[in-house]
């Protein structure tokens, strides 16, 4: 359901009801009901659905892995037999399913996990550099205060650490490229100037009488963390669709943050705008 809604939001003209019905193999009426529905599972149900999807994905990938291994073993066996008999047409026929001269690549040559419509794979954040950078940004004693994660390749689901810095949000937003879809994590430090004063209570010398006054501590500072989901204007349609699915995986790897900032332009990562949101 989330994948279908994400594709519809990205390009309503391309992903029509009939196109989505054909892609997800459901009826057009089912697509219309899903798009109209505002139902969303609770946290427990979402975890159950995610676990079921992960298990199904793993089972599918394992099936195709075993299938490729069996076909590879069959081709190797046919090749060795043909070599011993002095002919090369046997193993080629076993590999391509047709006789030499009219061969056609097997439909199993394409990996299903790379087909964004057929199977939305989860994000891979297994790199130890990601967790180390996350801990460095969280550590007030370290100068590093932001990090950026980018995809390893145009069709890859592997996220890698591509940049870190000490210059805050103004430095971070200059590193975000229009051709990329990225995740950024930053430590934001700001003073209490401009924030709402904190109410305090003072008790007078007269029994039963007290005063309420507001005091603003201009010297103290606050530190909070933000997660930025960057979708560049020139990024591909499939990459834009998949980043909405991978956001949940990134939140599990980088769990501590005060707000999430969806950004499509550099103005969305403006420090003053984000600090205003943090003060609310």
Per-residue pLDDT of the chain (280 residues; tens, 9 = 90+): 677 777 777 778 888 888 888 877 888 888 888 888 877 767 787 788 778 888 888 888 888 888 889 888 888 888 888 777 665 555 555 555 555 455 555 544 444 444 433 445 688 999 999 999 999 999 989 999 999 999 998 888 899 999 999 999 999 999 999 999 999 999 999 887 655 555 555 555 556 555 555 555 555 788 999 999 999 999 888 888 888 889 999 999 999 999 999 999 999 999 999 999 988 8
Q: Is the dihedral of CA 260, 266, 268, 270 positive or negative?
A: positive
Distance CA 124, CA 2 (A): 19
Q: 28, exposed or middle or buried, with CB in 10 Å at 0-12, 13-18, 19+?
A: middle
Distance CA 13, CA 7 (A): 10
pTM to 2 decimals?
0.52
Cβ neighbours of 266 (radius 10 Å): 12
Distance CA 58, CA 98 (A): 31
Distance CA 254, CA 18 (A): 37
pLDDT of residue 119: 45
Distance CA 159, CA 127 (A): 8
Structure tokens at 100: 């030499």
Q: What is the CA radius of gyration of the chain?
A: 27
Q: What are phi and psi of 241, to 5 degrees?
A: -70, -40
Name beta bridge partners: 158. Answer: 124
Q: What are phi and psi of 227, to 5 degrees?
A: -110, 125
pLDDT of residue 43: 77
Per the CB < 8 A criterion, the answer to whether 257 and 185 are in contact is yes
DSSP string, the chain: -HHHHHHHHH-TTTS-HHHHHHHHTS-HHHHHHHHH------HHHHHHHHHHHHHHHHHHHHHHHHHHHHHHHHHHHHHHHHHHHT-SHHHHHHHHSS-TTS----GGGS-GGG-TTT--PPPB---HHHHHHHHHHH-TTSS--EEEEEESSTT--BEEEEEEESSHHHHHHHT--TT-EEEEEEEEEEESTTSPPEEEEEE-SSTT-EEEEEE--SS-EEEEEEEEEEE-TTS-HHHHHHHHHHHHHHHHHS---SEEEEESSGGGG-HHHHHHHHH-
């Amino acid at each position: 359901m989330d994948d279908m809604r994400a594709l519809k939001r990205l390009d309503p003209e391309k992903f029509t009801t009939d196109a989505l019905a054909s892609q997800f193999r459901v009826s057009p009426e089912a697509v219309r009901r899903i798009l109209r529905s505002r139902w969303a599972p609770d946290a427990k149900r979402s975890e159950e659905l995610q676990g079921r999807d992960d298990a199904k994905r793993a089972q599918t990938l394992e099936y195709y892995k075993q299938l490729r291994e069996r076909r590879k073993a069959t081709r190797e066996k046919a090749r060795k037999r043909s070599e011993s008999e002095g002919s090369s047409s046997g193993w080629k026929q076993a590999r391509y399913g047709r006789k030499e001269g009219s061969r056609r690549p097997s439909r199993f040559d394409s990996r299903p996990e790379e087909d964004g419509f057929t199977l939305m794979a989860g994000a891979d954040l297994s790199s130890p550099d990601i967790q180390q950078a996350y801990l460095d940004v969280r550590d007030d004693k370290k100068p590093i205060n932001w990090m950026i994660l980018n995809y390893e390749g145009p069709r890859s689901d592997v996220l890698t650490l591509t940049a870190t810095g000490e210059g805050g949000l103004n430095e971070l937003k200059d590193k975000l490229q229009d051709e990329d879809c990225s995740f950024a994590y930053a430590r934001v430090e700001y003073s209490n100037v401009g924030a709402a004063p904190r109410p305090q209570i003072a008790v007078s010398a007269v029994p039963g009488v007290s005063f309420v006054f507001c005091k603003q501590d201009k010297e103290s500072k606050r530190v909070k963390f933000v997660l930025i989901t960057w979708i560049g204007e020139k990024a591909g349609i499939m990459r834009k669709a998949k980043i909405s699915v991978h956001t949940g995986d990134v939140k599990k790897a980088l769990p501590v943050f005060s707000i999430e900032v969806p950004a499509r332009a550099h103005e969305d990562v403006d420090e003053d705008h984000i600090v205003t949101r943090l003060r609310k």
